Amino acid sequence: MNTINQKEWDKMLLKYKFAKTMLEAELEILLKEHEYRTGTNPVEHIKSRLKSEESILKKLENKGKAKTVENVEKHIHDIVGFRIVCSFLSDVYDIVNIIKSSKNFKIKEENDYIKNPKDTGYSSYHLNILIPIPLEQKLKYVEAEIQIRTVAMDFWASLEHKLQYKLPKDIPVYLERELLSCSNEIKIIDAKMQHLYDIVKKYTQKK
């Protein structure tokens, strides 16, 4: 087991703390500007977190990687995590475009698990971004993960997470099937709610 130098570890965590603070501020500005310009706010709520030291080291262990600062930065992509929850499918893609419009960070990777869900039924839109952080008179890019999903998708993901937490071993096959079935039903509900929302918007625009 490798021992991480405490000074290097603290310096690394400081970068991620700065990145979380900067991303919170940037998202607030982007979303407020969008609301001012369009009169609409697509966000229901936002949650953010900094992964704990225990969780970081556990994830490295699960990946079979030595416990070094270099491996943390190379293999752990969600130390800074944001979850943006909205009401409708169209809101998800509006938020994606709002985030992409920012000039203050770079998009490293994106995965549309709504159009291409995971085998488990998991649906969400993921953006991995690089945030420039000034530290010791140098500019460092720090990675953060943003998950964007509807309220219904978030409900499903929360349930799946709790089941995985309660069951330390693999989830039984019948539970996997039920989760997948619920995911399919949620897709139908999201599509119906989007349809109703589109009708409401048409009536609103006519007034």
Give the model's pLDDT for residue 79.
Answer: 95
Q: What percent of the chain has pLDDT over 70?
A: 94
Q: Average pLDDT, stretch 15-23?
A: 95
Q: Convert the pLDDT of each residue in 181-206 to its tens digit.
A: 999 999 999 999 999 999 988 887 76
Confidence band (pLDDT; 50, 70, 90) for 1? very low
Give the model's pLDDT for residue 34.
Answer: 94
Mean pLDDT of the chain: 90
Alpha helices by DSSP H, listed for 39-132, are 53-62, 69-75, 89-100
Record: fold of 6-157: Beta Polymerase; domain 2 (3.30.460)
What's the CA gap between 44 and 91, in Å, rounded?
Answer: 10
Q: In terms of Cα–Cα distance, which of 86, 162, 98, 97 is closest to 124?
A: 86
In contact, 106 and 130? CB cutoff 8 Å: yes
Q: In terms of Cα–Cα distance, which of 38, 79, 82 is closest to 57?
A: 79
- Where do the structural domains in the chain lie, given as residue ranges? 6-157
Q: Say yes or no to pLDDT of 75 above 50.
A: yes
What's the CA gap between 106 and 92, in Å, rounded?
Answer: 19
Give the model's pLDDT for residue 175.
Answer: 82
Q: Convert the pLDDT of each residue in 148-184 to its tens digit.
A: 999 999 999 998 888 776 666 667 788 888 889 999 9
Q: Say yes or no to pLDDT of 8 above 50.
A: yes
Q: Average pLDDT, stretch 133-153?
A: 92
Give the model's pLDDT for residue 90.
Answer: 95
How many alpha carbons lie under 13 Å from residue 53 in its C-beta half-sphere? 9
Question: Which tops the pLDDT comparison, 67 or 110?
Answer: 110
Q: Convert the pLDDT of each residue in 24-48 to its tens digit.
A: 999 999 999 999 999 889 999 999 9
